[in-house]
Amino acid sequence: MRDEFDYPVSNTFGIKAKAAHFVEYGVVDELRAVVRREACGAEVLHVGAGSNLLFLSDFDGLVLHSAIRGIDVEECGGETVKLRVGAGVVWDALVAHCVAHGWHGLENLSLIPGEVGAAAVQNIGAYGAEAKDVITAVETVDLRTGAVRVFDVAECGYAYRKSVFKTDLRGRYAVTHVRMTLSRRFSPDLEYGGVRDALRLAGVEPERVTPQQLRDAIISIRQAKLPDPKVQGNAGSFFMNPVVERSVYERICDEFPAVPHYEAGEGNVKIPAGWLIEQCGWKGRALGPAAVHDKQALVLVNLGGATGQDILRLCEAVRSDVRERFGIELCPEVNMIGK
Ligand code: EPU
């Protein structure tokens, strides 16, 4: 177990921020002991790899991080394999491991930064797949009492980039393990725009794609559009794609008949935030040391030395222009910490 005070919290935005107290635990009982010891005191923040966090200030409480590892096969037979994965496993290491073992369903989620616990909180998604499609249960510890609680997938309240752990029960439970069921039969999902093109570009016939080729194609799409946090600080998509009433979409269509969109159920339509931001002229534009990425306007980047407040200023400027131009409210996907 690691127990430090005044500790710099790592985050992919590259923002300097300190936690008054930082604990990294390796097993569930260590976490339960820390919770019992600290329960009546400090504010608690549980972090993963810091790939979806924006620190607006230092954090004057206890930051917890899971180093619970392990990808355990609970059952393997017939068409499926059931896994139990530690919350501290790096998400993309899990995807690579599963592809190598012939366990399928995660290929389209390749190269998403972060760890397995946070993936289950965030319901990460990309190229037509979401974590909730494979998750069957989430094991947690109650951060107020130290009690273990297992949520079956229905109790997790999953929706687009959402779960009960981000909404009603925010901050209450720490994920320790995620149970998932993958398929031993490969049935690739190539429907998302650009996936087939990326395969053809790599000389792969989509009808004959292998799991590793699909993973490689997803990685190449991401690398072409999304900045590498090791090179330029960022947290992936900064905003969620807004879901709007059809009348709002139709109003935009009058001016831009080719506006990209996806059906979102109940007569609603999802419009890519990146497209809205680009129409407002923000793509590639900077505001001080913060900028809108020049290849994907949904991503805000740290040009070097930005503070959380610099990123927030850019976020608000972009939101304000999108609101004024389209009457649509963009909601940040990134979790903001501090004041
Ligand atoms: N678009 C623009 N301008 C831009 C960016 C996008 O016009 O600057 C248009 C594209 O041309 C396309 C549409 O918007 O027609 C959608 O773009 P893209 O396929 O890049 O996906 P996205 O909706 O912008 C979402 C996820 C990404 C995920 C991709 C692929 C959210 C908030 N983001 O982005 O997730 O990788 O789809 O599935 O849903 C993340 O969460 O960090 C993330 C990167």
- Between residues 38 and 115, which one has the greater pLDDT? 115
With respect to residue 174, please indicate whether it lies within any of the assigned structural domains: yes
Do 23 and 97 fall into the same domain? no
274 C-alpha to ligand 1 centroid (Å): 6
With respect to residue 53, please indicate whether it lies within any of the assigned structural domains: yes
54-100: pLDDT as tens digits:
999 999 999 999 999 999 999 999 999 999 999 999 999 999 999 99
Q: Is 237 a catalytic residue?
A: yes
Question: Best substitution site from 275, 300, 333 to test ligand 1's pocket, by max atoms within 8 Å of Cβ?
Answer: 275
Do 52 and 78 fall into the same domain? no
Q: Is the CB of 237 under 6 A from ligand 1?
A: yes
CA distances from 26 to 29, 64, 151 (A): 9, 11, 21
CATH of the domain at 30: 3.30.43.10
Do 56 and 146 fall into the same domain? no
249-304: pLDDT as tens digits:
999 999 999 999 999 999 999 999 999 999 999 999 999 999 999 999 999 999 99
Do 211 and 286 fall into the same domain? no
Q: What is the pLDDT of residue 339?
A: 83
Mean pLDDT of 154-167: 97
With respect to residue 111, please indicate whether it lies within any of the assigned structural domains: yes
Domain count, the chain: 4
Do 286 and 201 fall into the same domain? no
Q: What is the pLDDT of residue 39?
A: 67
Q: Is the CB of 199 under 6 A from ligand 1?
A: no
The whole model's pTM is what? 0.96
Mean pLDDT of the chain: 97
**Residue 221's domain spans which residues?**
195-225
With respect to residue 188, please indicate whether it lies within any of the assigned structural domains: no
Based on its alpha-carbon atoms, the radius of gyration of the chain, rounded to whole angstroms, reads: 20
Do 121 and 45 fall into the same domain? no
Beta-strand (E) ranges in the chain?
Answer: 2-8, 18-25, 44-47, 53-55, 59-66, 71-77, 80-86, 125-126, 129-130, 135-142, 148-152, 173-183, 233-237, 243-245, 262-263, 268-270, 286-287, 290-292, 299-302, 335-337
Do 104 and 162 fall into the same domain? yes
